[in-house]
Amino acid sequence: MYLEYFVLGSCALLLLSFPIMFSAMFKKLDAAERYLQYSSYIVGCRHTFRNAPFQGRPQRVYAMATVILIPKVIQWRGMVLVEDVEKIPRHLKYWMVIPTFVTCLSLFGLIISWFFIDDWP
Partner 1 sequence: MQGPYAFINERPQPYPLLKMSLALDPHTHTKFDALNQHIRNTLVLPGQLVIIGDSRTADCTAAEAQLMRSAQNTKLALLAYSATDQFLIKNHDQLQSILSYSSVGIGSASSAWSKHLAQVEKTLMEIEDLHKQYLRKGTTGAREEFLVKRRALFARLDTQISGMARLGTGLRNEGSIKKMLGISSKSYWHHGEISGYEERVKRLAKASQMLKAGTYIGIALDVGATALEISEACSTGREQECTQAKYVEAGKLVMGVGGASIGGTLGTLVGTSACAIVFGIPTAGAGALACAIVGGAAGGLASGKLGSSAGEFVGKFLYKSVEN
Q: Count residues near partner 1 (CB under 8 A).
A: 39
3-class secondary-structure state, position 91: helix
Nearer to partner 1, 4 or 30 (CB): 4
Residues 3, 71: contact at Cβ < 8 Å? no
Rounded alpha-carbon distances, angstroms, from residue 67 to 23, 32, 116 = 19, 11, 33
Nearer to partner 1, 35 or 39 (CB): 39
Q: Evaluate the CA torsion angle 74, 76, 77, 83 in order and state its sign.
A: positive
Does 79 contact partner 1 by CB under 8 A? Answer: yes
Rounded distance between C-alpha atoms, residue 61 and residue 56, angstroms: 9
Near partner 1 in 3-42, by CB under 8 A: 4, 7-8, 10-11, 14-15, 17-18, 40-41
Binding site for partner 1 (CB under 8 A): 4, 7-8, 10-11, 14-15, 17-18, 40-41, 43-45, 47-49, 52-53, 58-59, 62-63, 66, 73-74, 77, 79, 103-104, 106-107, 110-111, 113-114, 117, 120-121
